[in-house]
Amino acid sequence: MERVAINEEVVKPEFGASVNKIISMLLTPSILEKWLINHGFTAQREYTLELLLQHFSPFCQKHQLLLQGYFSGLNTLNGIANQFINYLGYRHLDFDAETMFSNAVDYVRDAEKEIEKILNQRTAQNKLNVLGFGLGDGLYEEKIKSKLLSTGLYNEVNLYGYDPITLDSFTKGINKITKADLEIMKQDPIIDVIITRWVLHHTSLDHRWNDLTLAINACRSKADIIIVEESSLVPTSASRTYENKLEELILGIFDVIVNMGLHPHWFQGENEGSFFLKYLYQEDFKFIESKISRLYHKHKQTLDYSIHSQQIIHYALIPFY
């Protein structure tokens, strides 16, 4: 199939014609569908592709000025995402959560495999303390605990949870900790592993890095910090082209649809209006690295799923001697 993309002739510094052509594509479902298929919305994501085409093009019809503002830098992706949430909310949609999850299972599964590889390379110790940063319901961490115990490397695995978003209730058996607890742990570190998966781009900027670096600095010697995030090879927010902004926009709309299907309670009751979305750039990781008080080795891996590509960032703290 011929790749339908915004080529170099279209993506040029001038704002007018190039952005109008992008918006024209967003308003035309048949052209948008070709672009989406060529950017990772394969048959495996047929359900989310169908939902995106069904709802996003009509949304664009109603909000062309909002899109113009986004591409010109006046409006944020977070603002558009929340407008889209409101747009969907008026329609009282009932998404099929099981089918929604199956549409994302490939990169979730592969990311989890890479996390397990990192953890299986650790040396044996009597007790391992694992912190889920942005824990959610804690079910994944419970699964990790079982797998770690089955290796025979640890006699005891304790789970801790810190959630800057706090939209879910932790499962039993997980020790919920606060920011004040992390401050105390800095003086007497107990954490051996931090896992944060697809959390940071939903964490407001006043908590994103300060809370995470606080947790990292509360880790013991030889700790592993594992971050899984939507991939961005763009160095800074300011360096994005119109094509980059388009890809982020589609990824953000996909993010909204998937989370409304998998976590409808995030958008209801006391959580209504609290959805936050801002993807990470290379500059963000440089900032976090400037705040880590310990020496570390950094390992970066990209799982390539086109527009859905994932980054796994692994900081291995260097032992004290």
Q: State pLDDT tens for residues 108-152.
A: 888 999 999 999 999 999 999 999 998 777 888 999 999 999 999
Q: Report whether 218 contacts 155 (CB < 8 A).
A: no
Nearest to 204 by CA among 129, 265, 275: 275
Q: Report whether 148 contacts 192 (CB < 8 A).
A: no
What pLDDT was estimated at residue 115? 95
Tell me the two tokens of residue 121: 């390379």
What pLDDT was estimated at residue 7? 38
What pLDDT was estimated at residue 17? 55
Tell me the two tokens of residue 255: 């993010």
What pLDDT was estimated at residue 262? 81
Chain centroid offset of residue 191 CA: 23
Q: Report whether 103 contacts 47 (CB < 8 A).
A: yes
**DSSP per-residue letters across 71-121:** HHTSS-HHHHHHHHHHHHHTTT----HHHHHHTTHHHHHHHHHHHHHHHHT
Q: Report whether 141 contacts 174 (CB < 8 A).
A: yes
What pLDDT was estimated at residue 233? 60
The side-by-side arrangement of strands in the sheet containing 156-162 is: 174-176, 156-162, 127-133, 191-197, 219-230, 310-317, 296-303
Percent of the chain that is helix, strand, coil (3-state, to 5): 50, 15, 35
Highest CATH level, class, for 122-232+280-317:
alpha beta
- Boundaries of CATH 3.40.50.150 in the chain? 122-232+280-317
Judged on CB neighbours under 10 Å (0-12, 13-18, 19+), 303 is middle
Q: Report whether 191 contacts 125 (CB < 8 A).
A: no
Ranges of residues in the chain with a pLDDT under 50 are: 1-16
